[in-house]
Structure 1
Amino acid sequence: MLELSAVVAAYGAVRAVDGVSMAVPAGTLTAVLGANGAGKTSLLRTISGLVTPRSGSIRFDDTDIAGVAPDRIARMGLVHVPEHGGVITELTVRENLRLGGLWRRDKADRAAALGEVLDLFPPLAVRLAAQASTLSGGERQMLAIGRALMSRPRMLLLDEPSLGLAPLVTAQIMRVLRRLREDRGLTVLLVEQNARSALSVAEHAYVLALGRVVVDAPAHSITAEALHDVYLGAT
């Protein structure tokens, strides 16, 4: 569903993404791991159109999306949940969720999507009228993912969904991601610093270091020793 070939993205003279190639088959959950500064967030921002690549190709469902505006990419079904979620704290939970499906004209389908999101995240069901600023960190992350799901995406780009969350909440988020893949066939590209959590739900994983892919392997085959070397810079 998503294929990158020799993608380069830079901020000035710094190559944040340096010749990255990867493939994400439809209906799979693929993890992208790496230490801080490895280029993980920049990679997602480049895929979703927030950063224009300097070179290389990005194809989503066989359509070249390199340089395409972010809103057009989202309408194609490729939806980005950024680090910290981007929840609008001044709005209620219901209003945040409505924003996710606002461009979809089928009101019945929007209502059905809302029901599905609340089924996935029961804590949101009892907080619909609450202002998003009153939510816990875990509830905000649920809201961010739920808002993305309201648009009926074909693929999710998730940036550090477990960041700052308690282990129990992280486990709940990972169970939801597994459920979305197994029950709905949703394709997910998951950026995570919590390697253990990501590898527990992913089928394939890439590890980045200094903007480059240094490990490309099935998730179950990536050893703690290999990750230790990468995270400590001994690549």
Structure 2
Amino acid sequence: MLDVSGLVAEYGPVRALDDVDVEVAEGSITAVLGVNGAGKTTLLRAISGLLPPKAGTVRLAGRDVTRRAPEDLVRLGMAHVPEGRGVIVELTVEENLRLGGLWRKDKGWLRTGLSRMYELFPPLAQRRSRRAETLSGGERQMLAIARALMSRPELLLLDEPSLGLAPRTAAQIVATLRTLRAETGLTLLLVEQNAGTALSVADRAVVLNLGRKVADDDAASLAADDRVRRAYLEM
């Protein structure tokens, strides 16, 4: 589904990604791990078009999408939920969700999609007419994910979905990710500070350190690798 090769990204004179390769199999959950400053968020930004890479290629389902605009990538089947629960707080829950599906031509999906999002995230159904500013942190994160899903992506990029959430809420979101993958075959690239949580849900994991890839293996093997856990994952 996703093939990233030789990716280089910079913020001014700072090289945040240095020759990074990542492959994400269709229908899989791949975790991107590492301590703060490792380059995890930069990787998602470079893939989704928010930060044009200096070098390297990004291929989505075999198509070269390097440096394509974010809105083009949404139309091609990629959605990105950045860190920070970015929803439009002046709009209601349902208005935010409708905005996520606005560009789709199959208008029948809008009604079906809304129903599906409310099934996946019951707290949103109870608050559909409330402005997003009234939601808790966990509910805003649910809304951010649900709004991205309204575009019916084939690949979903998630940046720190459990950051700052109560353990119970974080567990609910992780369970929902499992459900989505099992029921729809959705492919996920997941950045998560909590390595234990990420490895418990992922099929494969990539570890970054100072912008370089230092490990790439199936999740179970990385979870059992004491050297990687101590050196790069703070586990």
Counterpart in 1 of 2:229?
Answer: 227
Structure 1 residue 106: deviation in Å? 2.5
CA deviations 1:17-47 (Å, max 9, x no partner) are: 1110010010000000111100000000000
Structure 2 unaligned regions, length at least 5: none
State the one-letter code of the partner of 2:52. Answer: T
* Secondary structure class of the residue paired with 2:38: coil
Counterpart in 1 of 2:114?
Answer: 114
Structure 1 residue 224: deviation in Å? 6.4
Q: Does 1:74 align with 2:84?
A: no
| Alpha-carbon distance in structure 2 between the residues aligned to 1:195 and 1:137 | 21
Counterpart in 2 of 1:130?
Answer: 130
Q: Percent identity?
A: 58
Decide which moves more: 100-109 or 20-29.
Answer: 100-109
CA deviations 1:99-137 (Å, max 9, x no partner) are: 000111322211101111110000100100111011001
**1:86-105 → structure 2 map (5 Å cutoff):** 86-105=86-105
Counterpart in 2 of 1:164?
Answer: 164
CA deviations 1:179-207 (Å, max 9, x no partner) are: 11111100000000011111111000001
Structure 1 residue 154: deviation in Å? 0.6
* Secondary structure class of the residue paired with 2:59: strand
Q: Does 1:30 align with 2:47?
A: no
| Alpha-carbon distance in structure 2 between the residues aligned to 1:216 and 1:154 | 23
CA deviations 1:70-124 (Å, max 9, x no partner) are: 1101110100000012111111101100100011132221110111111000010
State the one-letter code of the partner of 1:69. Answer: A
Runs of 4+ in 1 over 4 A off after TM superposition: none
Structure 1 residue 231: deviation in Å? 4.0
CA deviations 1:148-186 (Å, max 9, x no partner) are: 111111110000000000111111100011111111100
Contact 2:195 2:233 in 1 (8 A): no
Taking only aligned residues, the RMSD between alpha carbons, in angstroms, comes to 1.0
| Alpha-carbon distance in structure 1 between the residues aligned to 2:101 and 2:225 | 40
State the one-letter code of the partner of 2:149. Answer: L
Q: TM (normalized to structure 1)?
A: 0.96
Counterpart in 1 of 2:209?
Answer: 209
Counterpart in 1 of 2:17?
Answer: 17
Q: TM (normalized to structure 2)?
A: 0.96
Query: Paired residues, what number?
Result: 232
* Distance 1:11-1:47 versus aligned 2 partners, 3 A rule: same
Contact 2:9 2:54 in 1 (8 A): yes
| Alpha-carbon distance in structure 2 between the residues aligned to 1:126 and 1:103 | 26
Q: Does 1:62 align with 2:51?
A: no
* Secondary structure class of the residue paired with 1:129: coil
| Alpha-carbon distance in structure 2 between the residues aligned to 1:9 and 1:48 | 13
| Alpha-carbon distance in structure 1 between the residues aligned to 2:37 and 2:165 | 20
| Alpha-carbon distance in structure 2 between the residues aligned to 1:145 and 1:161 | 8
* Secondary structure class of the residue paired with 2:68: coil
| Alpha-carbon distance in structure 1 between the residues aligned to 2:207 and 2:112 | 37
